[in-house]
Amino acid sequence: MSNKFGTEKTELVFRQYADMIYRIALHNLSNSADAEDILQEVCLALMTGNPPDDEPHLKRWLIRVTINKSKNLKRSFWRRNRESIGDYTHLIAPAVPSVPEEIFELPDNYRNIIYLYYFEDYTIPEIADILGKNENTVKSSLQRARKKLKKLLTEEGYDGEN
């Protein structure tokens, strides 16, 4: 297990990006315990993998690793074959809808684009580079995601003044 950064640099990088990694994992998995697991897995990948040395590429590498590990967890047998407490939320009184909750109802590809664009302040070309997609694909996906989100919000009664 060799680390090309060294222990001190790995710790600095991890401290700098841990919050972002956790938020992206939480955004993809909707579960804080799973997001913490992904945070640990990304830290392990940082220590044992071959991350790039320069800052912008390192951040993109961490985002890509986080998204991939989140997808892998979602595809796992255990995750697909368990019952979530969320299946029983209809027994609880409904709360006032908020935008982040509605974002979780979007498909993964739209959700990641919306998250990176609005919450991580990436531009469309940067998102295209991170996700390995064409810029025009990202633009059209962002536009479709906005339309779906608007539809979801209006169905839930959100009028933009709450």
Please say if the pLDDT value at position 97 is more than 50. Answer: no
Please say if the pLDDT value at position 128 is more than 60. Answer: yes
What average pLDDT does range 77-93 have in this prediction? 68
Question: Same domain, yes or no, for 80 and 102?
Answer: no
Give the integer Cα–Cα distance in Å for 17 and 53: 14
Question: Contact 122/31 with Cβ under 8 angstroms?
Answer: no
Query: What pLDDT sits at residue 6?
Result: 75
Q: How confident is the model at residue 90 (pLDDT cuts 50, 70, 90)?
A: low
Dihedral sign of CA atoms 67, 118, 111, 145 in order: negative
Question: Same domain, yes or no, for 154 and 99?
Answer: yes
Write down which residue in 43, 68, 89 finishes a domain: 89
Planar angle of CA 159, 112, 62, nearest 5 degrees: 140
How many structural domains comprise the chain? 2
Write down which residue in 64, 89, 114 finishes a domain: 89
Question: Same domain, yes or no, for 157 and 145?
Answer: yes
Question: Same domain, yes or no, for 69 and 28?
Answer: yes
Give the integer Cα–Cα distance in Å for 17 and 59: 8
The CATH number of the domain where 141 resides is what?
1.10.10.10
Question: Same domain, yes or no, for 81 and 15?
Answer: yes
Question: Contact 43/62 with Cβ under 8 angstroms?
Answer: no
Q: How confident is the model at residue 71 (pLDDT cuts 50, 70, 90)?
A: very high
The CATH number of the domain where 59 resides is what?
1.10.1740
Other C-beta atoms closer than 10 Å to the C-beta of 138 total 24
Question: Same domain, yes or no, for 128 and 73?
Answer: no
Query: What pLDDT sits at residue 145?
Result: 93
Structure tokens at 144: 């479709």
Closest CA to 144 of 98, 109, 116, 99: 109
Question: Contact 156/95 with Cβ under 8 angstroms?
Answer: no
Write down which residue in 71, 89, 107 finishes a domain: 89
Query: What pLDDT sits at residue 16?
Result: 93
Q: Which residue has the higher pLDDT, 84 or 7?
A: 7
Domain boundaries, position 121 = 93-162
Please say if the pLDDT value at position 144 is more than 90. Answer: yes
Question: Same domain, yes or no, for 35 and 101?
Answer: no
Q: Supply φ then ψ for residue 56, to 5 degrees.
A: -65, -40
Q: Tell me the pLDDT tens digit for each residue of 1-57.
A: 455 667 888 889 989 999 999 999 999 998 899 999 999 999 999 988 888 888 889
Q: Give the type of residue at 61.
A: W
Question: Same domain, yes or no, for 113 and 82?
Answer: no
Question: Same domain, yes or no, for 59 and 127?
Answer: no
Residues 6+ apart with CB under 8 A from 33: none
Question: Same domain, yes or no, for 13 and 72?
Answer: yes
Give the integer Cα–Cα distance in Å for 48 and 17: 17
